[in-house]
Structure 1
C-alpha cells in the first residue's frame, strides 16, 4: 500500500509535466489563394508541426511537417464555404485546445483594417463585427530594439507579445499585416541619421514571424468570388530614402515595387484596396504622379500614417487614414472630406455581385463615416 501511495502522485505529476498546452496561435495566408490558410504557432520545445482540422471536433483531416522547430507554419486546404472549421495543433507532447475560424462566405464578406497597433486597445468592436479577415496598414508594434536590444534583426519578441495580447482574435481570424517603419526599427532613430542603419529594410523579423504571399514585405491577396484584391505596398518615411533612416524599399518608376504593382493593376479585379504606411499626399506624387494614376484603377487606398481618422478625395478617388491611437498628431490631407481625432478602424463590407461599403468606425463601434463604392 505504501508503494502505491507513493507512485500515484509521481505518475500524475509526470503526466501533467508532459501535457504542455500551446496558446500562442495565429492564422495567415502565404499564397494568393483563399482556399488555403496557414496555422502558425510557437512552442517551448522543438518538434514536429501537426494540425488536425475539420468541420467538427472529431477533425478528420491532418497535415504534418516532420521538422524540428519552435516556430511552426502549416498550410491546410479549405474545401468549404459558409461554415466553421475546428482545429487543434500539436508538437510532440505539446498541444492546443480546440479552436475555430470561419470559412470565407459566398454572399457577404467583412474585412477590418487597422493601423498604429502600438499598445493594447480594446478591440471588442472588431470582434463584434465578426470579420472574416483582419488587415493592417502598418506599424503593428512599437519597435524592435527596446524589447530585443539594438541591431538585432531576427528578434520576434514584440510580435509574440502582440499575439499574446489577443489570443482569441488571432486564433479565429486570418491576419495579414502590411509593413510600417516601427515594424523594423532595430535602433533608436535619434535627431539626425546615425552611422548605422536604424531600420532593417528587409524586415527579417516580420517576414519570419508572419507567413504572407509574394515577398511578404509587399504582397497581394485575392478573393475571386468577390472580384476583390488587397495589395500591401512598402511605403514609409519616403523622404528618408537613401539615408541611414531609410526604412522602405525603392518606389521609383523603375523599381521592383512599382513594376510589380503596375502589373497587378494592368487588368485589376473590380475592387482593389491598396494598403501602405505613409502619408497619401506624399505617396501619390511619386514617380511623376504615376502612383496616383495606378491607384485610380482600384477602389481606394488605406494608410495608417498619423494618429487620426480621415477620408480624402483626389480626382474622385478616396484615400483613407485610420489609427487605433487616433488622438495624437494629425497630418491632414489637403483634400480631406472627413477628419476626426478618434481611435478608429475601417470596416469593408462587400456583397457578391454588389457594392463595397467602407465605414470608418470608432473603437466604441460608432460609424464615423460611411461610403458606398460600386463595381468599376
Structure 2
C-alpha cells in the first residue's frame, strides 16, 4: 500500500474523531540509526503516554510511560519487515485512531527535503504524497518565529504540525534549524540590548525528538550507504551580536570539529550535508574552512534563499537551495547551473546497491524542474 492510499484510508477515520481525541501526532527518529521511531503527541491535560503498535491493525505490542506530561515522546522499535506499521496513542481518556507509517524499503528509498515552511503559503502537499516518500527532512526555518501571539514557544511547532496532520502522523520528520526556529523576540532594524534568538533552541529541542544534540545531528541509512548531517549554520554574519542565531562555527568550535571528524570517519557512499546558510557567506567568513569538508561529501543542501537553485562548487560538489516559498529575490549562486522562482522541494531517490542516486527539484504540482545524478563517493 502506498503512503497516499494509506493517508486516504486514514482520512476516513479522522472524519469521525470524537471531541477530546488526539489529533496532533508527529513522528521522528531519536538516534543515528533507523532502529527506533518516536511517536510524539500533545494533550491538554497531563497524562501518561501509551503507544500500541504492530504490523497489522490488531496492534499487539505496547509501550507505556507513567510520567504525567502534556508533550509526549514514546520510542518504539522498528523491527518489522517491509510494509506498514500500525499504531495508536493514548493518554488518560484521550485516544487516537489507528494510524500507519511505512517501514523502510529494502530496495528503494525516497527522501523529501523542504525548507522555509514558516513563510510558505503552500497548503497542498498531494504532490509530495504521490512521491510516496519514506522520510521527510528540512533545511531550516520550519516556522516564522516563536513570538507570534498564540504561537509562542513550542506552540509555533504545534501549529506547523496542524497544517498537515496526516503527513506528519505518517512520515518521520527530521528538521534542522534556521534562525526563525529560535526567534524569541522581533528582530528589529538593528541589534537591540537583549538577545533576539535562543541560541540553544530550547523550544525546538523540547518539541522534536531528534538524534544527537538535536541542534546538530546525523542520521544513517546503512541499507542505502547513506548519511545525512545537519549543521547549525544560519545568519553567521551576526555572530557576536544580539542578533546571533547559531552556535559557534570557527575552527576550534565543537560544531566544526565534530563535522570534520564525521567526514573523516564516514564510510558511507552518499553523504548529504544540510544547513540554512548561503554557501558564499560560509566560504567568505570562514576562508574556505568548512568547504574543505563540504567537498568530501556528495552534496550540500540549504534553505537560505526563496527560490530553487543548483550550483556546482569546487570539485563539482552539487549545491542545492530549496524553498517552499519560491518568490524571493533572485540572487543566483555564482556557480548556478539551474534556477527557478517556484515553490519547490527536493526528491532524493536511492536504489540499494546502485552506484548513483538521483536528486530532483519538483514544484508543488509534482512537475520535475531539474534532475541531477550523483555518483557514490570514491573513498
Give the TM-score band, short-chain normalised: over 0.9
Rounded to whole Å, the distance in 2 between the matches of 1:115 and 1:332 is: 17
The TM-score, its normalising length taken from structure 2, stands at 0.91
1:203 paired residue number: 201
Q: Do residues 138 (structure 1) and 148 (structure 2) align? A: no
**Residues 369, 158 of structure 1: CA spacing in aligned structure 2 closer, same or farther, 3 A cutoff?**
same
Residues 121, 325 of structure 2: 8 Å contact kept: no
Residues 147, 158 of structure 1: 8 Å contact kept: no
2:227 paired residue number: 229
How far 1:356 sits from its partner (Å)? 1.1
How far 1:98 sits from its partner (Å)? 0.5
Rounded to whole Å, the distance in 2 between the matches of 1:277 and 1:147 is: 25
Secondary structure of 2:87's partner? strand
Summarize the alignment of residues 252-291 of structure 1 with structure 2, pairs less than 5 Å apart. Answer: 252-268=250-266, 269-291=268-290
1:79 paired residue number: 79
1:362 paired residue number: 363
Q: Do residues 125 (structure 1) and 127 (structure 2) align? A: yes
Residues 312, 319 of structure 1: 8 Å contact kept: yes
Deviations 1:292-325 (A, max 9, x none): 1111111101101111001001121111001000
Which structure's CA Rg is the greater one?
A: 1
How far 1:374 sits from its partner (Å)? 1.4
Moved more, 237-246 or 140-149: 140-149
How far 1:285 sits from its partner (Å)? 4.0
How far 1:82 sits from its partner (Å)? 1.8
Secondary structure of 2:292's partner? helix
2:307 paired residue number: 308
Residues 273, 300 of structure 2: 8 Å contact kept: yes
Deviations 1:18-69 (A, max 9, x none): 9731000000011112011100000112111010000111101101111000
How far 1:144 sits from its partner (Å)? 1.0
Rounded to whole Å, the distance in 1 between the matches of 2:337 and 2:81 is: 38
Summarize the alignment of residues 83-98 of structure 1 with structure 2, pairs less than 5 Å apart. Answer: 83-98=83-98
The TM-score, its normalising length taken from structure 1, stands at 0.92
Rounded to whole Å, the distance in 2 between the matches of 1:76 and 1:285 is: 44
How far 1:120 sits from its partner (Å)? 4.4
Secondary structure of 1:266's partner? helix
Rounded to whole Å, the distance in 1 between the matches of 2:283 and 2:265 is: 20
Summarize the alignment of residues 89-238 of structure 1 with structure 2, pairs less than 5 Å apart. Answer: 89-118=89-118, 119-121=120-122, 122-147=124-149, 155-238=153-236
Rounded to whole Å, the distance in 2 between the matches of 1:19 and 1:341 is: 42
Q: Which residues of structure 2 form unaligned runs of 5+?
A: 1-17
How far 1:375 sits from its partner (Å)? 1.2
How far 1:287 sits from its partner (Å)? 3.4
